[in-house]
Chain A
Amino acid sequence: MQTVISKALAFLILISAYVVADSPYQSSEEFLGEAFAGSPPAPKTIWLKGEVKEKAGEILGHSYPGIRIRYWGRDKRTAWILEEIGKTQPITVGIVVDETGLESIRVLAFRESRGWEVRYPFFTDQFSGIRLTADNQLDRPIDGISGATLSVRALKKLTRLALYLHQQTVPGDDASP
Protein backbone atom coordinates (compact mmCIF):
# COMPACT_ATOMS: atom_id res chain seq x y z
CA MET A 1 0.00 0.00 0.00
CA GLN A 2 2.79 2.44 0.92
CA THR A 3 4.44 1.92 -2.47
CA VAL A 4 1.24 2.79 -4.32
CA ILE A 5 0.74 5.85 -2.15
CA SER A 6 4.31 7.05 -2.68
CA LYS A 7 4.05 6.71 -6.46
CA ALA A 8 0.70 8.54 -6.53
CA LEU A 9 2.13 11.38 -4.47
CA ALA A 10 5.23 11.70 -6.65
CA PHE A 11 3.01 11.80 -9.74
CA LEU A 12 0.81 14.58 -8.32
CA ILE A 13 3.77 16.70 -7.27
CA LEU A 14 5.45 16.33 -10.64
CA ILE A 15 2.30 17.32 -12.49
CA SER A 16 1.73 20.37 -10.29
CA ALA A 17 5.35 21.45 -10.44
CA TYR A 18 6.02 21.10 -14.16
CA VAL A 19 2.91 20.60 -16.24
CA VAL A 20 0.95 23.62 -15.09
CA ALA A 21 2.84 26.75 -16.06
CA ASP A 22 0.19 29.35 -16.87
CA SER A 23 -0.07 31.98 -14.17
CA PRO A 24 -3.24 33.99 -13.75
CA TYR A 25 -1.26 36.82 -12.19
CA GLN A 26 -0.44 40.11 -13.89
CA SER A 27 1.71 43.00 -12.75
CA SER A 28 0.01 46.38 -12.43
CA GLU A 29 1.76 47.52 -15.61
CA GLU A 30 0.59 44.46 -17.53
CA PHE A 31 -2.96 44.96 -16.30
CA LEU A 32 -3.03 48.63 -17.34
CA GLY A 33 -1.37 47.85 -20.67
CA GLU A 34 -4.03 45.26 -21.39
CA ALA A 35 -6.82 47.60 -20.27
CA PHE A 36 -5.71 50.46 -22.56
CA ALA A 37 -4.32 48.67 -25.60
CA GLY A 38 -0.71 49.11 -24.59
CA SER A 39 -0.79 52.85 -23.86
CA PRO A 40 -2.37 53.58 -20.49
CA PRO A 41 -3.19 57.24 -19.78
CA ALA A 42 -1.60 59.20 -16.96
CA PRO A 43 -3.08 58.36 -13.58
CA LYS A 44 -5.73 60.58 -12.04
CA THR A 45 -6.77 60.90 -8.44
CA ILE A 46 -10.06 60.69 -6.65
CA TRP A 47 -10.03 62.13 -3.17
CA LEU A 48 -11.77 60.22 -0.41
CA LYS A 49 -13.72 62.97 1.25
CA GLY A 50 -17.30 63.81 2.03
CA GLU A 51 -19.91 61.50 0.56
CA VAL A 52 -17.36 59.54 -1.49
CA LYS A 53 -15.46 58.60 1.67
CA GLU A 54 -18.69 57.74 3.45
CA LYS A 55 -20.00 55.51 0.64
CA ALA A 56 -16.64 53.79 0.19
CA GLY A 57 -16.68 52.96 3.90
CA GLU A 58 -20.22 51.61 3.67
CA ILE A 59 -19.31 49.36 0.75
CA LEU A 60 -16.16 47.95 2.37
CA GLY A 61 -17.53 47.83 5.89
CA HIS A 62 -14.56 49.91 7.04
CA SER A 63 -12.66 53.03 5.98
CA TYR A 64 -10.47 52.71 2.90
CA PRO A 65 -6.83 52.96 4.02
CA GLY A 66 -5.69 56.21 2.40
CA ILE A 67 -6.98 59.63 1.52
CA ARG A 68 -7.02 59.23 -2.26
CA ILE A 69 -7.26 56.50 -4.85
CA ARG A 70 -5.43 56.60 -8.16
CA TYR A 71 -7.22 55.49 -11.28
CA TRP A 72 -6.69 55.53 -15.00
CA GLY A 73 -9.39 56.76 -17.33
CA ARG A 74 -10.02 57.34 -21.03
CA ASP A 75 -13.16 57.47 -23.17
CA LYS A 76 -15.51 56.84 -20.23
CA ARG A 77 -13.55 53.72 -19.27
CA THR A 78 -11.72 53.62 -15.96
CA ALA A 79 -9.25 51.15 -14.48
CA TRP A 80 -8.71 50.63 -10.77
CA ILE A 81 -6.16 48.77 -8.68
CA LEU A 82 -7.66 48.12 -5.26
CA GLU A 83 -6.91 45.99 -2.21
CA GLU A 84 -9.04 44.31 0.44
CA ILE A 85 -8.33 41.76 3.17
CA GLY A 86 -9.75 38.29 2.51
CA LYS A 87 -9.43 36.15 5.63
CA THR A 88 -6.09 37.47 6.87
CA GLN A 89 -4.15 38.80 3.87
CA PRO A 90 -4.79 41.58 1.32
CA ILE A 91 -6.02 40.60 -2.12
CA THR A 92 -4.95 42.99 -4.91
CA VAL A 93 -7.43 43.31 -7.76
CA GLY A 94 -7.42 45.16 -11.09
CA ILE A 95 -10.87 46.22 -12.32
CA VAL A 96 -11.93 47.89 -15.58
CA VAL A 97 -15.29 49.65 -15.71
CA ASP A 98 -17.06 51.09 -18.73
CA GLU A 99 -20.43 52.64 -19.42
CA THR A 100 -22.21 49.28 -19.42
CA GLY A 101 -20.80 48.04 -16.11
CA LEU A 102 -17.82 45.94 -15.09
CA GLU A 103 -15.72 45.08 -18.11
CA SER A 104 -13.11 42.84 -16.48
CA ILE A 105 -11.64 41.88 -13.12
CA ARG A 106 -8.20 40.36 -12.57
CA VAL A 107 -6.63 39.22 -9.30
CA LEU A 108 -3.14 40.74 -9.38
CA ALA A 109 -1.93 39.31 -6.07
CA PHE A 110 -3.43 36.68 -3.78
CA ARG A 111 -1.74 35.80 -0.50
CA GLU A 112 -4.34 33.66 1.31
CA SER A 113 -3.80 29.96 2.03
CA ARG A 114 -7.30 29.06 0.85
CA GLY A 115 -9.64 30.43 -1.76
CA TRP A 116 -7.19 30.18 -4.68
CA GLU A 117 -10.14 29.62 -7.02
CA VAL A 118 -11.00 33.35 -7.04
CA ARG A 119 -7.89 34.01 -9.12
CA TYR A 120 -9.09 32.07 -12.14
CA PRO A 121 -11.43 33.02 -15.00
CA PHE A 122 -13.84 30.20 -14.15
CA PHE A 123 -14.73 32.32 -11.13
CA THR A 124 -14.06 35.91 -12.24
CA ASP A 125 -15.94 35.59 -15.55
CA GLN A 126 -19.26 35.75 -13.74
CA PHE A 127 -18.55 39.40 -12.80
CA SER A 128 -18.53 40.49 -16.44
CA GLY A 129 -21.13 43.18 -17.17
CA ILE A 130 -22.28 43.39 -13.56
CA ARG A 131 -23.64 46.77 -12.42
CA LEU A 132 -24.65 48.61 -9.29
CA THR A 133 -28.18 48.96 -8.02
CA ALA A 134 -29.39 52.26 -6.61
CA ASP A 135 -28.27 51.21 -3.11
CA ASN A 136 -24.77 50.26 -4.31
CA GLN A 137 -25.32 46.51 -4.35
CA LEU A 138 -24.40 44.22 -7.24
CA ASP A 139 -27.36 43.80 -9.58
CA ARG A 140 -27.09 40.00 -9.74
CA PRO A 141 -25.81 37.26 -7.43
CA ILE A 142 -22.28 35.89 -7.56
CA ASP A 143 -21.95 32.16 -6.94
CA GLY A 144 -19.36 31.58 -4.25
CA ILE A 145 -16.65 29.03 -3.60
CA SER A 146 -17.18 26.67 -0.69
CA GLY A 147 -14.51 27.28 1.93
CA ALA A 148 -13.48 30.58 0.34
CA THR A 149 -16.32 32.76 1.61
CA LEU A 150 -14.09 35.60 2.76
CA SER A 151 -12.04 35.78 -0.45
CA VAL A 152 -15.23 35.85 -2.53
CA ARG A 153 -16.64 38.53 -0.25
CA ALA A 154 -13.51 40.67 -0.72
CA LEU A 155 -13.80 40.53 -4.52
CA LYS A 156 -17.49 41.44 -4.40
CA LYS A 157 -16.76 44.45 -2.20
CA LEU A 158 -13.95 45.69 -4.45
CA THR A 159 -16.21 45.30 -7.48
CA ARG A 160 -18.89 47.42 -5.82
CA LEU A 161 -16.27 50.01 -4.84
CA ALA A 162 -14.85 50.28 -8.37
CA LEU A 163 -18.34 50.61 -9.89
CA TYR A 164 -19.23 53.31 -7.36
CA LEU A 165 -16.00 55.25 -7.86
CA HIS A 166 -16.44 55.05 -11.62
CA GLN A 167 -19.78 56.83 -11.24
CA GLN A 168 -18.02 59.62 -9.34
CA THR A 169 -15.43 60.12 -12.07
CA VAL A 170 -17.69 60.19 -15.14
CA PRO A 171 -20.10 63.11 -14.69
CA GLY A 172 -23.63 62.36 -15.73
CA ASP A 173 -22.91 58.68 -16.27
CA ASP A 174 -25.19 56.87 -13.88
CA ALA A 175 -24.49 53.17 -14.16
CA SER A 176 -27.47 52.31 -12.01
CA PRO A 177 -30.18 50.41 -13.84
Chain B
Amino acid sequence: MKSYSLAMAFATCLLCNPISVLAATPPVTPTIEQLWDIIQAQQAEIEALKKQQHDTAQKAENADEKAEAAVVAVEEVDAKTAGVASWVDKTTIGGYGELHYNNFEGEDNELDLHRFVLFFGHEFTDSIRFFSEFEIEHSVAGDDEDGEVEVEQAYVEFDLRENLQAKGGVFLMPVGILNETHEPGTFYGVERNNVENIIVPSTWWEGGGAVNGYFDNGISWDFAITSGLEMETEGKNAFRVRSGRQKVSNATANDLAYTGRLKYTGIPGLELAGTASYQSNATQSNNDGLNEGILYETHAIYNKGPFGLRALYARWDFNGSAVSAAGDDDQYGWYIEPSYKPWQKVGLYSRYEKLDGARDQDQFDQWEVGANYWPHEDVVLKVDYRSRNVDRNSSGADDIDAFDLGIGYQF
Protein backbone atom coordinates (compact mmCIF):
# COMPACT_ATOMS: atom_id res chain seq x y z
CA MET B 1 0.00 0.00 0.00
CA LYS B 2 2.83 2.35 0.84
CA SER B 3 4.75 1.61 -2.37
CA TYR B 4 1.53 2.29 -4.39
CA SER B 5 1.19 5.74 -2.80
CA LEU B 6 4.76 6.65 -3.68
CA ALA B 7 4.27 5.65 -7.27
CA MET B 8 1.11 7.73 -7.49
CA ALA B 9 2.94 10.73 -6.05
CA PHE B 10 5.77 10.42 -8.58
CA ALA B 11 3.34 10.16 -11.49
CA THR B 12 1.41 13.22 -10.30
CA CYS B 13 4.61 15.20 -10.02
CA LEU B 14 5.65 14.12 -13.49
CA LEU B 15 2.33 15.19 -15.02
CA CYS B 16 2.33 18.53 -13.24
CA ASN B 17 5.90 19.57 -14.05
CA PRO B 18 7.42 17.47 -16.78
CA ILE B 19 10.11 20.07 -17.70
CA SER B 20 11.59 19.99 -14.32
CA VAL B 21 11.67 16.28 -14.54
CA LEU B 22 13.28 16.30 -18.03
CA ALA B 23 15.69 19.04 -17.02
CA ALA B 24 16.82 16.80 -14.50
CA THR B 25 17.56 14.26 -17.26
CA PRO B 26 21.24 14.42 -18.22
CA PRO B 27 21.81 15.76 -21.90
CA VAL B 28 22.76 13.30 -24.63
CA THR B 29 25.70 14.58 -26.74
CA PRO B 30 25.55 13.27 -30.38
CA THR B 31 28.47 11.44 -31.54
CA ILE B 32 30.64 12.66 -34.46
CA GLU B 33 29.05 10.03 -36.63
CA GLN B 34 25.59 11.28 -35.75
CA LEU B 35 26.63 14.89 -36.53
CA TRP B 36 28.05 13.79 -39.87
CA ASP B 37 24.76 12.09 -40.71
CA ILE B 38 22.87 15.29 -39.85
CA ILE B 39 25.20 17.40 -42.04
CA GLN B 40 24.85 14.96 -44.88
CA ALA B 41 21.09 15.06 -44.64
CA GLN B 42 21.05 18.87 -44.60
CA GLN B 43 23.43 19.00 -47.58
CA ALA B 44 21.19 16.68 -49.51
CA GLU B 45 18.24 18.91 -48.71
CA ILE B 46 20.17 22.01 -49.90
CA GLU B 47 21.09 20.25 -53.15
CA ALA B 48 17.48 19.30 -53.69
CA LEU B 49 16.34 22.89 -53.11
CA LYS B 50 19.02 24.19 -55.49
CA LYS B 51 17.90 21.78 -58.16
CA GLN B 52 14.31 22.76 -57.62
CA GLN B 53 15.23 26.46 -57.96
CA HIS B 54 17.24 25.78 -61.13
CA ASP B 55 14.37 23.80 -62.59
CA THR B 56 11.98 26.65 -61.83
CA ALA B 57 14.32 29.19 -63.46
CA GLN B 58 14.73 26.89 -66.46
CA LYS B 59 10.98 26.59 -66.80
CA ALA B 60 10.62 30.38 -66.64
CA GLU B 61 13.31 30.80 -69.29
CA ASN B 62 11.64 28.20 -71.47
CA ALA B 63 8.36 30.02 -71.02
CA ASP B 64 10.00 33.31 -72.11
CA GLU B 65 11.50 31.60 -75.13
CA LYS B 66 8.16 30.08 -76.04
CA ALA B 67 6.46 33.47 -75.65
CA GLU B 68 9.15 35.11 -77.80
CA ALA B 69 8.80 32.35 -80.38
CA ALA B 70 5.03 32.85 -80.38
CA VAL B 71 5.39 36.63 -80.90
CA VAL B 72 7.93 36.10 -83.67
CA ALA B 73 5.60 33.56 -85.26
CA VAL B 74 2.72 36.06 -85.12
CA GLU B 75 4.92 38.74 -86.62
CA GLU B 76 6.12 36.35 -89.33
CA VAL B 77 2.53 35.42 -90.13
CA ASP B 78 1.76 39.14 -90.41
CA ALA B 79 4.74 39.57 -92.71
CA LYS B 80 3.73 36.59 -94.84
CA THR B 81 0.17 37.87 -94.97
CA ALA B 82 1.54 41.21 -96.04
CA GLY B 83 3.46 39.45 -98.76
CA VAL B 84 0.39 37.64 -100.00
CA ALA B 85 -1.53 40.88 -99.91
CA SER B 86 1.30 42.97 -101.33
CA TRP B 87 -0.77 44.14 -104.29
CA VAL B 88 -3.44 45.34 -101.91
CA ASP B 89 -0.84 46.99 -99.68
CA LYS B 90 0.68 48.76 -102.65
CA THR B 91 -2.70 50.05 -103.82
CA THR B 92 -4.27 52.97 -102.01
CA ILE B 93 -7.74 54.47 -102.08
CA GLY B 94 -8.73 57.87 -100.77
CA GLY B 95 -11.17 60.58 -101.53
CA TYR B 96 -13.03 63.70 -100.56
CA GLY B 97 -16.37 65.32 -101.15
CA GLU B 98 -18.43 68.39 -100.34
CA LEU B 99 -22.10 69.29 -100.20
CA HIS B 100 -23.07 72.96 -100.55
CA TYR B 101 -26.18 74.93 -99.71
CA ASN B 102 -26.30 78.41 -101.29
CA ASN B 103 -28.93 80.83 -100.07
CA PHE B 104 -29.08 83.72 -102.53
CA GLU B 105 -30.92 86.94 -101.80
CA GLY B 106 -33.62 87.40 -104.42
CA GLU B 107 -32.77 84.25 -106.37
CA ASP B 108 -33.41 80.53 -106.18
CA ASN B 109 -31.44 78.74 -103.50
CA GLU B 110 -29.37 75.69 -104.33
CA LEU B 111 -28.35 72.43 -102.69
CA ASP B 112 -25.55 70.73 -104.56
CA LEU B 113 -23.28 67.73 -104.10
CA HIS B 114 -20.57 69.82 -105.65
CA ARG B 115 -17.82 67.23 -105.67
CA PHE B 116 -17.48 63.51 -105.03
CA VAL B 117 -13.91 62.40 -105.57
CA LEU B 118 -12.04 59.11 -105.31
CA PHE B 119 -8.27 58.67 -105.41
CA PHE B 120 -6.60 55.50 -106.59
CA GLY B 121 -2.86 54.99 -106.34
CA HIS B 122 -0.47 52.11 -106.82
CA GLU B 123 3.17 51.66 -105.91
CA PHE B 124 4.90 49.63 -108.63
CA THR B 125 8.29 49.89 -106.95
CA ASP B 126 9.82 52.15 -104.31
CA SER B 127 10.61 54.64 -107.08
CA ILE B 128 7.73 54.22 -109.56
CA ARG B 129 4.13 54.95 -108.59
CA PHE B 130 0.76 55.71 -110.12
CA PHE B 131 -1.79 58.21 -108.89
CA SER B 132 -5.26 59.11 -110.11
CA GLU B 133 -8.22 61.26 -109.17
CA PHE B 134 -11.71 60.44 -110.37
CA GLU B 135 -14.39 63.05 -109.83
CA ILE B 136 -18.11 63.46 -110.27
CA GLU B 137 -19.23 67.08 -110.09
CA HIS B 138 -22.79 68.12 -109.30
CA SER B 139 -23.92 64.58 -108.61
CA VAL B 140 -25.39 63.60 -111.99
CA ALA B 141 -23.59 63.62 -115.33
CA GLY B 142 -25.04 63.15 -118.78
CA ASP B 143 -26.93 64.91 -121.54
CA ASP B 144 -28.88 67.89 -120.23
CA GLU B 145 -27.45 67.35 -116.74
CA ASP B 146 -25.41 69.82 -114.72
CA GLY B 147 -22.70 67.39 -113.68
CA GLU B 148 -19.53 66.00 -115.17
CA VAL B 149 -17.47 62.87 -114.76
CA GLU B 150 -13.80 63.78 -114.87
CA VAL B 151 -10.41 62.13 -114.58
CA GLU B 152 -8.42 65.01 -113.18
CA GLN B 153 -5.25 63.07 -112.48
CA ALA B 154 -3.81 59.86 -113.92
CA TYR B 155 -0.03 59.86 -114.02
CA VAL B 156 3.02 57.70 -113.39
CA GLU B 157 5.74 59.27 -111.27
CA PHE B 158 9.41 58.29 -111.18
CA ASP B 159 11.97 59.12 -108.50
CA LEU B 160 15.08 59.99 -110.53
CA ARG B 161 17.07 60.92 -107.47
CA GLU B 162 16.22 61.53 -103.86
CA ASN B 163 15.32 65.15 -104.65
CA LEU B 164 14.39 64.86 -108.33
CA GLN B 165 11.19 63.40 -109.74
CA ALA B 166 9.55 63.14 -113.16
CA LYS B 167 6.01 62.24 -114.12
CA GLY B 168 3.99 61.64 -117.24
CA GLY B 169 0.24 61.51 -117.79
CA VAL B 170 -2.59 63.73 -116.68
CA PHE B 171 -1.75 65.91 -113.69
CA LEU B 172 -2.67 69.12 -111.90
CA MET B 173 -0.87 72.23 -113.08
CA PRO B 174 1.64 73.60 -110.54
CA VAL B 175 -0.03 76.96 -110.00
CA GLY B 176 -1.86 78.75 -107.20
CA ILE B 177 -2.81 77.61 -103.73
CA LEU B 178 -5.90 75.50 -104.35
CA ASN B 179 -5.18 73.85 -107.67
CA GLU B 180 -3.11 71.04 -106.20
CA THR B 181 -4.48 71.03 -102.65
CA HIS B 182 -8.23 71.49 -102.53
CA GLU B 183 -9.65 69.02 -100.07
CA PRO B 184 -12.48 70.92 -98.35
CA GLY B 185 -10.89 70.86 -94.91
CA THR B 186 -7.77 72.65 -96.18
CA PHE B 187 -9.38 75.98 -97.11
CA TYR B 188 -11.93 78.46 -95.82
CA GLY B 189 -15.23 79.20 -97.51
CA VAL B 190 -17.95 76.89 -98.77
CA GLU B 191 -17.11 77.84 -102.35
CA ARG B 192 -13.50 78.18 -103.47
CA ASN B 193 -12.20 81.69 -103.99
CA ASN B 194 -13.05 83.29 -107.33
CA VAL B 195 -9.54 84.28 -108.40
CA GLU B 196 -8.60 80.60 -108.48
CA ASN B 197 -11.62 79.93 -110.60
CA ILE B 198 -11.78 82.75 -113.11
CA ILE B 199 -8.14 83.73 -113.57
CA VAL B 200 -6.41 80.50 -112.48
CA PRO B 201 -8.97 78.02 -113.85
CA SER B 202 -8.85 75.56 -110.95
CA THR B 203 -9.16 72.72 -110.99
CA TRP B 204 -6.77 72.92 -113.95
CA TRP B 205 -5.27 69.73 -115.26
CA GLU B 206 -3.42 68.96 -118.48
CA GLY B 207 -1.66 66.03 -120.08
CA GLY B 208 2.08 65.90 -120.66
CA GLY B 209 5.30 65.52 -118.73
CA ALA B 210 6.77 67.29 -115.72
CA VAL B 211 9.94 67.38 -113.67
CA ASN B 212 10.35 68.73 -110.16
CA GLY B 213 13.21 69.03 -107.73
CA TYR B 214 13.94 70.44 -104.31
CA PHE B 215 16.81 71.52 -102.11
CA ASP B 216 17.50 71.17 -98.41
CA ASN B 217 17.05 74.92 -97.89
CA GLY B 218 13.33 74.68 -98.69
CA ILE B 219 13.44 75.84 -102.31
CA SER B 220 11.69 73.66 -104.88
CA TRP B 221 10.94 73.95 -108.56
CA ASP B 222 8.53 72.44 -111.07
CA PHE B 223 8.54 72.44 -114.83
CA ALA B 224 5.86 70.98 -117.10
CA ILE B 225 5.33 70.64 -120.83
CA THR B 226 1.64 70.01 -121.41
CA SER B 227 -1.35 70.36 -123.64
CA GLY B 228 -2.52 73.96 -123.81
CA LEU B 229 -5.70 75.99 -123.60
CA GLU B 230 -8.13 76.17 -126.50
CA MET B 231 -10.02 79.38 -125.82
CA GLU B 232 -12.98 80.68 -127.74
CA THR B 233 -12.82 83.98 -129.62
CA GLU B 234 -16.54 84.39 -130.23
CA GLY B 235 -19.77 83.90 -128.34
CA LYS B 236 -20.67 84.32 -124.68
CA ASN B 237 -17.44 82.64 -123.51
CA ALA B 238 -15.11 84.54 -125.84
CA PHE B 239 -11.65 84.92 -124.27
CA ARG B 240 -12.83 83.27 -121.05
CA VAL B 241 -9.85 81.31 -119.71
CA ARG B 242 -11.88 78.74 -117.80
CA SER B 243 -13.77 77.73 -120.95
CA GLY B 244 -10.43 77.11 -122.67
CA ARG B 245 -9.59 74.04 -120.62
CA GLN B 246 -9.60 70.99 -122.85
CA LYS B 247 -9.51 68.58 -119.90
CA VAL B 248 -7.33 66.17 -121.93
CA SER B 249 -10.42 64.97 -123.75
CA ASN B 250 -9.28 64.51 -127.36
CA ALA B 251 -7.39 67.71 -126.70
CA THR B 252 -6.00 69.61 -129.66
CA ALA B 253 -2.25 69.62 -129.19
CA ASN B 254 -0.96 71.75 -132.04
CA ASP B 255 0.56 74.26 -129.65
CA LEU B 256 1.88 73.19 -126.27
CA ALA B 257 2.13 75.02 -122.97
CA TYR B 258 5.23 75.44 -120.79
CA THR B 259 4.78 76.00 -117.08
CA GLY B 260 7.38 76.63 -114.38
CA ARG B 261 7.11 77.26 -110.67
CA LEU B 262 9.55 78.26 -107.94
CA LYS B 263 8.49 77.75 -104.34
CA TYR B 264 10.04 78.43 -100.96
CA THR B 265 8.84 76.56 -97.86
CA GLY B 266 12.04 76.71 -95.81
CA ILE B 267 10.34 78.29 -92.79
CA PRO B 268 7.57 76.25 -91.16
CA GLY B 269 4.23 77.90 -91.76
CA LEU B 270 5.50 80.00 -94.67
CA GLU B 271 5.04 79.41 -98.37
CA LEU B 272 6.14 81.82 -101.10
CA ALA B 273 5.63 80.76 -104.69
CA GLY B 274 5.54 82.08 -108.20
CA THR B 275 4.38 80.43 -111.43
CA ALA B 276 4.61 81.39 -115.09
CA SER B 277 2.67 79.47 -117.73
CA TYR B 278 3.33 80.18 -121.40
CA GLN B 279 0.56 79.18 -123.78
CA SER B 280 2.20 79.17 -127.21
CA ASN B 281 -1.21 79.55 -128.85
CA ALA B 282 -4.21 79.96 -126.58
CA THR B 283 -6.70 78.86 -129.27
CA GLN B 284 -4.64 76.08 -130.89
CA SER B 285 -5.28 77.73 -134.27
CA ASN B 286 -3.86 80.66 -136.23
CA ASN B 287 -5.31 83.89 -137.56
CA ASP B 288 -8.19 84.07 -135.11
CA GLY B 289 -7.13 87.20 -133.25
CA LEU B 290 -5.77 85.41 -130.16
CA ASN B 291 -2.20 84.18 -130.20
CA GLU B 292 0.02 83.35 -127.23
CA GLY B 293 -0.72 84.08 -123.60
CA ILE B 294 1.27 84.09 -120.37
CA LEU B 295 -0.10 83.57 -116.89
CA TYR B 296 1.84 85.08 -113.98
CA GLU B 297 0.82 83.95 -110.53
CA THR B 298 2.34 84.57 -107.14
CA HIS B 299 1.09 83.84 -103.66
CA ALA B 300 2.06 83.80 -100.02
CA ILE B 301 0.78 81.69 -97.15
CA TYR B 302 1.78 82.24 -93.55
CA ASN B 303 0.44 80.42 -90.53
CA LYS B 304 1.79 81.18 -87.09
CA GLY B 305 0.02 79.75 -84.09
CA PRO B 306 -3.68 80.59 -84.40
CA PHE B 307 -3.12 83.29 -87.05
CA GLY B 308 -3.12 82.69 -90.78
CA LEU B 309 -2.82 84.78 -93.90
CA ARG B 310 -3.22 83.91 -97.57
CA ALA B 311 -2.72 86.30 -100.45
CA LEU B 312 -2.62 85.60 -104.18
CA TYR B 313 -2.23 87.62 -107.35
CA ALA B 314 -2.67 86.24 -110.87
CA ARG B 315 -2.62 87.90 -114.28
CA TRP B 316 -2.99 86.82 -117.89
CA ASP B 317 -1.41 88.73 -120.77
CA PHE B 318 -2.72 87.72 -124.20
CA ASN B 319 -1.55 88.80 -127.64
CA GLY B 320 -3.82 89.14 -130.66
CA SER B 321 -5.89 91.73 -132.46
CA ALA B 322 -9.29 90.34 -131.44
CA VAL B 323 -8.49 89.89 -127.77
CA SER B 324 -7.00 93.36 -127.61
CA ALA B 325 -10.01 94.88 -129.35
CA ALA B 326 -12.31 93.21 -126.82
CA GLY B 327 -10.24 94.60 -123.96
CA ASP B 328 -9.60 91.08 -122.66
CA ASP B 329 -5.88 90.95 -123.37
CA ASP B 330 -5.22 91.73 -119.73
CA GLN B 331 -7.18 89.70 -117.16
CA TYR B 332 -6.24 89.68 -113.50
CA GLY B 333 -7.42 89.02 -109.99
CA TRP B 334 -6.16 89.02 -106.44
CA TYR B 335 -7.37 88.22 -102.96
CA ILE B 336 -6.27 88.47 -99.37
CA GLU B 337 -7.57 86.22 -96.61
CA PRO B 338 -6.64 86.64 -92.94
CA SER B 339 -7.83 83.96 -90.54
CA TYR B 340 -7.80 83.17 -86.84
CA LYS B 341 -8.38 79.95 -84.91
CA PRO B 342 -9.63 80.76 -81.40
CA TRP B 343 -9.87 77.03 -80.72
CA GLN B 344 -8.19 74.07 -82.37
CA LYS B 345 -11.44 72.97 -84.03
CA VAL B 346 -12.76 76.38 -85.03
CA GLY B 347 -11.41 78.85 -87.56
CA LEU B 348 -12.71 82.29 -88.54
CA TYR B 349 -11.78 84.09 -91.72
CA SER B 350 -12.43 87.09 -93.91
CA ARG B 351 -11.60 87.44 -97.60
CA TYR B 352 -11.54 90.29 -100.07
CA GLU B 353 -11.29 89.57 -103.79
CA LYS B 354 -10.90 91.79 -106.83
CA LEU B 355 -11.51 90.31 -110.28
CA ASP B 356 -11.22 91.56 -113.83
CA GLY B 357 -11.99 88.65 -116.14
CA ALA B 358 -13.38 88.41 -119.66
CA ARG B 359 -17.13 88.37 -119.03
CA ASP B 360 -19.19 91.00 -117.25
CA GLN B 361 -19.96 88.57 -114.42
CA ASP B 362 -16.23 87.99 -114.00
CA GLN B 363 -15.53 91.62 -113.15
CA PHE B 364 -16.33 92.38 -109.52
CA ASP B 365 -15.09 92.79 -106.02
CA GLN B 366 -16.33 90.62 -103.18
CA TRP B 367 -16.24 90.56 -99.38
CA GLU B 368 -16.67 87.33 -97.51
CA VAL B 369 -16.64 86.28 -93.86
CA GLY B 370 -17.19 82.85 -92.38
CA ALA B 371 -16.10 80.00 -90.18
CA ASN B 372 -14.91 76.41 -90.39
CA TYR B 373 -15.57 73.82 -87.70
CA TRP B 374 -13.62 70.56 -87.73
CA PRO B 375 -15.42 67.98 -85.51
CA HIS B 376 -12.77 65.55 -86.73
CA GLU B 377 -9.48 66.35 -88.40
CA ASP B 378 -10.86 64.99 -91.72
CA VAL B 379 -14.38 66.41 -91.51
CA VAL B 380 -15.36 70.06 -91.81
CA LEU B 381 -18.54 72.08 -91.46
CA LYS B 382 -18.55 75.53 -93.08
CA VAL B 383 -20.62 78.67 -93.05
CA ASP B 384 -20.02 81.98 -94.77
CA TYR B 385 -21.64 85.17 -95.95
CA ARG B 386 -20.54 86.94 -99.15
CA SER B 387 -21.39 90.18 -100.84
CA ARG B 388 -20.41 90.76 -104.48
CA ASN B 389 -20.53 94.02 -106.40
CA VAL B 390 -20.14 93.67 -110.16
CA ASP B 391 -18.44 96.47 -112.03
CA ARG B 392 -21.38 96.84 -114.41
CA ASN B 393 -24.75 95.17 -114.20
CA SER B 394 -25.89 93.30 -117.28
CA SER B 395 -27.72 90.13 -118.14
CA GLY B 396 -26.13 87.42 -116.02
CA ALA B 397 -23.95 89.89 -114.17
CA ASP B 398 -25.71 90.91 -110.97
CA ASP B 399 -24.66 91.82 -107.49
CA ILE B 400 -24.81 88.84 -105.16
CA ASP B 401 -25.57 88.60 -101.47
CA ALA B 402 -25.67 85.08 -100.14
CA PHE B 403 -24.95 82.89 -97.21
CA ASP B 404 -23.63 79.38 -97.68
CA LEU B 405 -23.47 76.20 -95.66
CA GLY B 406 -21.22 73.28 -96.46
CA ILE B 407 -20.05 69.93 -95.21
CA GLY B 408 -16.90 68.25 -96.45
CA TYR B 409 -14.75 65.22 -95.74
CA GLN B 410 -11.58 63.54 -96.83
CA PHE B 411 -10.03 60.15 -96.19
A interface residues (Cβ-Cβ under 8 A, vs B): 1-2, 5, 8-9, 12-13, 15-17, 20, 22-25, 61, 65-68, 87-89, 111, 113, 116-117, 120, 122-123, 126, 141-147, 149, 153
Contacts and interface: CB of A to CB of B under 8 A. Distances in A.
A33 B260 CA distance: 42
B131 interface: yes
Contacts of B129: 113
Interface string B216-251: 111011010000000000000000000000000000
Interface stretch (B19-27, B46-54, B155-163, B347-355): B155-163
Contacts of A16: 161, 163-164, 213-215, 221
Contacts of A61: 377
Contact of B267 (A1, A2, A24, A122): A122
B411 to A, nearest CB: 11
Contact of A67 (B71, B180, B181, B258): B71
Interface residues of B, number: 48
A146 B187 CA distance: 11
Contacts of B177: 146
Contacts of B215: 16, 20
12 contacts: A1-B258, A12-B223, A16-B161, A24-B216, A113-B157, A117-B218, A143-B303, A144-B268, A145-B265, A145-B271, A146-B181, A146-B265
Contacts of B123: 89, 111
Contacts of B71: 67-68
B74 A88 contact: no
Contacts of A12: 211, 213, 221, 223
B335 interface: no
A57 B157 CA distance: 33
Nearest to B157: A113
B181 A147 contact: yes
Contact of B301 (A122, A123, A146): A146
B163 A149 contact: no
A25 B163 CA distance: 12
B396 interface: no
B387 interface: no
A25 B186 CA distance: 29
Given A16-B163, A17-B160, A141-B305, A66 B75 contact: yes
Q: Which 7 A-B pairs have the closest CB atoms?
A: A16-B213, A143-B269, A143-B268, A88-B92, A146-B271, A147-B181, A16-B164
A117 B267 CA distance: 10
Most buried by A among B164, B260, B265, B271: B265
B268 A122 contact: yes
Contacts of B126: 111
Contacts of A149: 181, 186
B180 A143 contact: no
B409 to A, nearest CB: 14
B304 interface: yes
Given A66-B75, A146-B181, A146-B271, A5 B218 contact: no
Contacts of B94: 87-88
Interface in B367-385: 377
A153 B377 contact: yes
A2 B258 contact: yes
A147 B180 contact: yes
Interface in B265-324: 265-269, 271, 278, 280, 301, 303-305
Interface string B104-119: 0000000000000001
Contacts of B271: 145-147
B268 A126 contact: yes
Contacts of B131: 113
A149 B78 CA distance: 30
Interface in B80-116: 92, 94
A87 B93 CA distance: 10
A147 B214 CA distance: 15
A143 B303 CA distance: 7
Given A17-B160, A113-B129, A147-B180, 17 more contacts: A8-B223, A9-B211, A12-B213, A13-B164, A15-B213, A16-B215, A17-B161, A67-B74, A89-B123, A113-B131, A120-B218, A122-B268, A123-B268, A143-B268, A145-B265, A145-B268, A146-B301
